[in-house]
Amino acid sequence: MKVQDIAKLYNAEAFGDINSEVLTVDELCGKKSSALGFIGEEQYLKQLISSTVKVVLVENNLNNKLLDEWLAIDSERAYIKVKHAYRVFIKLTYKLLSKDELEIQPPLEQRKEYPGVYFGRNVIIGKDVKIFPGVVVMDNCTIGDLSIIYPNVSVYKNTRIGKRAIIGSGTVLGSDGFGFVKDEDGSLLKIPHLGGLVIEDDVEIGSNTSVDRGTLGDTLIRKGTKIDNLVQVAHNCILGENNILCGMVGLSGSTEFGNNVIMGANSGTKGHIKIGDNCIVTARTSVSKDLKPGSEVKGIYPARPIAEELKIQTLVGKLPELYERIKKLEKGEK
């Protein structure tokens, strides 16, 4: 694609050589020729000096002077000012790269037999599903059209995966939840998990993540939700649409999310609570009670509104100084 075509496509303004051709994408410090890069923040402008990319997408509020100095070094360079540069860069990546380039590695061909894959009874596989070696799909499971199941994924019985799902290597879907009750003699009695797991369309789940099936009803992950590596989703959780769960998040049983919830890395929830639409839970935060829609919380325990928690952290840093002042006051010193 030419620079002028990209600018026209996104109703953007282009500077420099608008006839320059873009064939691929690369990071600013990469070595590919005819590559497109992007800059979303001012601090990365300095990387342009040593960059080999010919064309960059830049956020429309960045410094034109520095960009124009970069253009002056090479007459074949160009930059395009857009809103949400990274988002546009991702969309152009799909346009510029071939299907093979976008694949991490060649998948098994779609066919009746999948080498190295185990299927149980009553398994339904949709069209153009890609399944890698080492995958186990147990009884009564469904995998929707255009989904990708990477190596060594275990799909337990009664799991339904929607269309265009991406499941990372080593992930376990639909296993028993962690549920026990104490018997009269003090031993732990295992709670049978008779429910299933439902994963709707366009869900992505990273590597080595575990999503448990329900005890009686189903665990549910609604469409568009994205889950990182090393995440635990316990039995009977309900995750709304377009949620983001970062690495090492842990959700206790029967946690219910609204839509567009973000859970930062290493955060978690107590069981049987509800988190409303558009909530943000920052990294390493423990949520122990319901959150109203739009809440933003921070704190190891308990989670508090961000402004309150930051104030507390600031005061904690002043404790040594306050302690010395109190000692002096106790001695009658000024």
Q: Which are the catalytic amino acids?
A: 235
Q: What does the block give as tokens for 333?
A: 């010193």
Q: In a 3-state reduction of DSSP, which class is residue 42? A: helix
Long-range (24+ apart) CB contacts under 8 A made by 137-146 are: 138/174, 141/174, 144/201
Return d(Cα 45, Cα 32) in angstroms, integer. 19
Sign of torsion over alpha carbons 99, 199, 261, 269: negative
- Supply the DSSP string of 122-139, one letter for each residue: T-EE-TT-EE-TT-EE-T
Return d(Cα 207, Cα 289) in angstroms, integer. 29
In sequence order, which residues have a C-beta less than 8 Å from that of residue 85 and are 6 or more positions away?
38, 39, 40, 57, 58, 59, 60
Return d(Cα 219, Cα 174) in angstroms, integer. 8
Using the 8-state DSSP alphabet, how is residue 48 labeled? G
Cβ contact 69:87 at 8 Å: no
Q: What does the block give as tokens for 74?
A: 């090479």
Give the Cβ contact number of residue 184 at 10 Å: 6
Return d(Cα 249, Cα 227) in angstroms, integer. 9
DSSP β-ladder status, 13-16 and 78-82: antiparallel
Helix 306-317 to helix 319-330 angle (10° resolution) is 50
Cβ contact 206:223 at 8 Å: no
Site of tokens 């008779």: 194
